[in-house]
Chain A
Amino acid sequence: MTSKMPRQAPETVAAVWLNETQFCTLDDLAQLSGLSLAELKDLISVGVIEAKSTDDDHVIFQQHYVVVARTAKRLRDDFELDHHGLAVAVHLLQRIQELEGQLSSAQAQLMHGRLSSDAAGDA
């Protein structure tokens, strides 16, 4: 005889969507990524992370930068990078992502989603 294991009911969780329309503070970025404030300021100074000023002179960041900062932390740890190397690596990664985005955008607009001989007509 086999006994059935009780099925675990999922726990409903309110998730935070890390996108461009929601914001967080520099301290949040540091806490969530594990980077130091100095390291984050480094990334801000080279433009990898962009700050936004509020009307009351506070500085906030789009929540998707949490992902950028976490990636930076991972690269720092996994490749044992210093501040300068880290900024260069993250900057180049972002550039690659931009180019991949442009490529994907161009592919989406093509017939069949790819270059083909029968896509030669005027758009």
Chain B
Amino acid sequence: MKYTDYYAALGVERNATKAEIKQAYRKLAHKYHPDISKDKDGESKFKEIAEAYRTLKDDEKRAEYDQLGVHKAGEEFSPRGDFSRQYEDADASFSDVDMADLMAAFAAARQGGAQGHGQGQARQQRPWPGQDFEIEEPVTLEQVYTGAEIDVSISVPEHDEHGLAHRVPRKFRVKVPKGAADGQRLRLPGKGGQGLHGGKPGDLYIVMRVLPHPLYRVDGKELFMDLPLAPWEAVLGASVKIPTLGGTVEMRVPPGTINGRQLRLAKRGLPGPDETMGNLHVVVRIEVPKEVTAQQRELYEKLAAEAGFNPRTHFDKFQRGST
């Protein structure tokens, strides 16, 4: 079992008072709590902080934890003292046991019976529900458009015959619903942590994270994409092929199209949960060639001379002489 230094996680001394522990936890929780922090590693940091606080704020748990002795963070060790006495004769293995799971198992055991853990069968009575888990899974826009099956992997604690929790890999195949949105959850009932003593298993929540797409930007069911046009296409109009999630479509760009104009392709966006389709909005972006040949330059100059087009006529009334 790998040692986790709960005191170091909270940044307090081993003899810290309860008030100091609480203060340290609150400070770190504000910084890393996944519901309020934008730190990309916030969730895993908070998990460690919360686990440390759960243990150290409780006198009984803290005493159990302190019995493990002082080790370096991440160091392999075997529990000793009262903490593991009940498992010694049972030849239990701690090698793949997560410390948080072990602490949770002891908490469950302690609350399961009136006499506390290590007191025989009395603690085996009360049902203890399994833990819920939440994981993030990346999904593509294409998967959201059509609906798709994805495989998700997770390791969940399962209790052996001694009541010790071991992490067991599980793999589930689930359907990403057509029209799912970024951040929405799928609930897999009963696929979380195992319950104890007849307690209900926990649920698994999958947070769908829609990956950024190189072409499309998402706003609910509406999709947006840029349409680069050559200046002559914008002036003269053009027929362009637009790749949509449902296949390529031909779109007519009207003559005189200006930069930034939005053209709408109806029902070419994303499906909603109610099966209605959003639209695809094409945002015109007029591009100019970075390099021109001498002949092209001559043509542009001829065009400039002949066009008589001044896009800045509205500047005239603001001109106050030049410097």
* Neighbouring A residues of B184 by C-beta, 8 Å: 17-19, 64
A:78-123 near B, CB below 8 Å: 78-79, 93, 104-105, 107-113, 118-123
B238 interface hit (Cβ, 8 Å): no
B281 interface hit (Cβ, 8 Å): yes
Q: Does A17 lie within 8 Å of B172, measured CB to CB?
A: no
Q: Which of B46, B206, B281 contacts A109 (CB 8 A)?
A: B281
Residue of B nearest to A119 (CB): B260
B36 interface hit (Cβ, 8 Å): yes
Q: Which of A93, A111, A118 contacts B36 (CB 8 A)?
A: A93
* Neighbouring A residues of B170 by C-beta, 8 Å: 11
A8 interface hit (Cβ, 8 Å): yes
User: Which of A37-45, A46-54, A66-74 lies on the face that meets chain B?
Assistant: A66-74
Question: B132 to chain A: closest CB distance in Å?
Answer: 8
Q: Does B226 lie within 8 Å of A112, measured CB to CB?
A: yes
With the chains together, A109 CA to B191 CA distance in Å?
39
* Neighbouring B residues of A17 by C-beta, 8 Å: 177, 180, 184, 186, 273
With the chains together, A71 CA to B132 CA distance in Å?
13
With the chains together, A10 CA to B206 CA distance in Å?
15
B:205-222 near A, CB below 8 Å: 205-206, 217-220, 222
Question: A119 to chain B: closest CB distance in Å?
Answer: 6
A15 interface hit (Cβ, 8 Å): yes
Report the interface size class on chain B: 35 or more
A75 interface hit (Cβ, 8 Å): yes
Given contacts A13-B174, A15-B174, A18-B187, contact A8 B169 (CB under 8 A): yes
With the chains together, A112 CA to B224 CA distance in Å?
10
* Neighbouring B residues of A74 by C-beta, 8 Å: 35
B40 interface hit (Cβ, 8 Å): no
- A residues sitting closer than 8 Å to B (CB atoms) are 8-21, 32, 64, 66-67, 70-71, 74-75, 78-79, 93, 104-105, 107-113, 118-123
20 A–B contacts from the bound complex (CB under 8 Å)? A10-B172, A11-B171, A11-B172, A12-B174, A15-B188, A17-B177, A74-B35, A75-B35, A78-B33, A79-B29, A93-B36, A105-B219, A108-B219, A108-B222, A108-B224, A109-B281, A111-B285, A118-B259, A121-B258, A123-B262
- B residues sitting closer than 8 Å to A (CB atoms) are 26, 29, 33, 35-36, 46, 50, 132, 151, 169-175, 177, 180-181, 184-189, 191, 203, 205-206, 217-220, 222, 224, 226, 258-262, 273-274, 281, 283-286
Not counting A13-B173, A15-B186, A15-B206, a sample of 7 additional A-B residue pairs whose C-beta atoms are within 8 angstroms of each other reads: A17-B273, A64-B184, A71-B35, A78-B46, A108-B224, A121-B284, A122-B258
